[in-house]
Structure 1
Amino acid sequence: MNRLKKRSEFLNAARGARAARSAFVLQGLCERPAEAPPRFGFTVTKRTGNSVERNRIRRRLKAAVKEVLPQARGGCDYVLIGRRKALRQPFDRLTRDLSAAIGMIHKTTRSPRHTA
């Protein structure tokens, strides 16, 4: 799984479509060439809880992304903003919600450009 690391990459993805769920908000933007692998970024604000809770949320979201990675579109950047409910939500529901959110992002975002 490729990661977003720079602040500018997170801000760029924030310009795209949003899909809100009870455990997270997914932001996505498809602007890179379609051959490029999808990239994911994770963020959990301090308002969500202490560092132990924030890291548990981040780990759960990363595991959910690994489950639904085949659905991610090449050339897209995704940012998951974790919420406190991600700690209590059953993992299978978390992955279902993420899968639905990725589908919603793909419907509202234009397809990545193809380079030939």
Structure 2
Amino acid sequence: MMILTPWDWQQTVRQCFSNYNVLNMEQDFLQFNALFKGKNAPFIHRKQNVEKEKVLLSSSVHIQVRQENPGIIYLKSSFDSEFDAVDLNRIKRRSRRLEDSKDKFLTHLPMKSAV
């Protein structure tokens, strides 16, 4: 079978793995870039962990988010290594940190239109 579209992937998985439930996800995507764009965005894209060491999301094998630490992601570059914490919170000089304003954006992400 030739795979050219996401629909082809769905059909291939359905045929090969009968115990999987394949869902069509055309309408269920959120645009998270709204959290990073503009001066008033709550997050900033960082390429360093909290110890100022370089980290790459593309080389991560395990990504974790923890409810008790909003705005911080934890990355592993190998399965046997420890988590590196990356703080994405934008520090604002005249306002409070993310913990004080997290309800303003976490439930209001725009939906991505289906292509």
TM-score norm. by structure 1 comes to: 0.25
More helix by share: 1
- Bigger relative contact order, structure 1 or 2 (CA pairs below 8 A, ≥6 apart): 1
TM-score norm. by structure 2 comes to: 0.25
Bigger Cα Rg? 2
More strand by share: 1
